[in-house]
Every structure is written in structure tokens, then in C-alpha cells.
Structure 1
Amino acid sequence: MNGYLKVLQEKAKKINVNIEDCSYDKECITNLIAAKVRANLEHEELSVIKEKAVIIEAIIPTNKEDKIALLDAIEERIKEILKEENERFTSIELQENFIPLDFG
């Protein structure tokens, strides 16, 4: 099993995301995690949502008072972060598997 898949499964478990329908689909799990984060923030005050968007460096919409647009931006940024994390993890795994043998 892909190492990053295990990482995603653990992240999903921490925030109580049901990923049974995703099987081994990392994109499906990523989407569910992002949707759960969004759902968890929906009932927060606008100031809290803005703060979270800034922390994760989400692209803030021009209308900063639009809660839905901020939540959309956060959800998209979470997906980007998880995708970038997957790429880094995969790159590290490939490097570890391709270490040349030392015949010296």
C-alpha cells in the first residue's frame, strides 16, 4: 500500500471522516477531508474563518465578507496542501527506493 495513503487515512480518522467508499482512492479521501474541514468551519464566526484562511494561505476572495467564498477557498487550499504533501512524500519514497548500491 502506498505510504501516503496510510497518512491520508490517519488524517481522515483524526477528524472522523468516513472513507469506506473511497477504498484506496487518494483523491477521494482528499476531497472528503477537505469537505469535512469546510463543514467543521461552516458554523464558525466570519473572523475565525478569515483567520483560518490566512493561516493556510488560501486565496482570499475579493469580497472578504462572503462566508461561502471563504469556505470554498479554504476547501480548495486543503486539497492543494494534501496534493503537495502527497507529491513530496512520493518523491521521498522514490528517492529512497532508488539509492544506488555502494560497491566500494
Structure 2
Amino acid sequence: MSYIYLAFAIIGELIGTSMLKASDGFSKLFPTIGVLVSFTFCFFFLSLSLKTIPLNMAYAIWSGLGIIGTAAISILIWKESINTASIVGIIFILVGVTILNLFGPGH
């Protein structure tokens, strides 16, 4: 169940981060409310996941998948470009999350 909570936390983070972009520096009301609701949802479920998932592993997964998801959203929804260095950095993040999951605490 903890990994389901972590997945909800990641979804909340992706929505909240997208709403940050849409809020235009907190100058638009509804996207700003979306930021507050999404990040509250995100941190609530992240805290639930931490009851059984070690902090370092949960945070690595949460932030790693958040970075990858945010990069995908920025390309697909916001039509932002990505360069080779960004792609290499994202691959390194994926490798790091994989190593933590395979060899981190509890293994």
C-alpha cells in the first residue's frame, strides 16, 4: 500500500508543478489554488508512504520520477524544448533510482 501512496504523491507533485507554471507567478487564482491543493495532497501521501518505505528510497523515487514526469509534461503540454544534456541528466536520475531500489536499504 505504501507504494500506492507514493504513486499518489508523485501524481500530486506533477499536477502541482504544472499548476505552478500555469499560475504565472501566483497571479492567476485557480492555478494558484491548484498548486496549494496538489502539493497538500502530494505531501500527505508522501508522509503516509514514509511509514514503511525508508526516507532515502521514497525521496529518490518521488523526486526522480517527478523530474522525469515534469520534463515530459514540459515537452508535451507546455511545448518546451529539451537538449541532450537534459536527456543525459534524466538518464542518470533513472540509473540512480534503479540502483537505490536494487541495492539500497533493506537489500
Q: TM-score, normalised by structure 1?
A: 0.29
Tell me which of the two structures has the higher relative contact order, counting C-alpha pairs closer than 8 angstroms and 6 or more residues apart: 2
Larger Rg: 1
Q: How high is the TM-score relative to the length of structure 2?
A: 0.29
Higher share in helix: 2
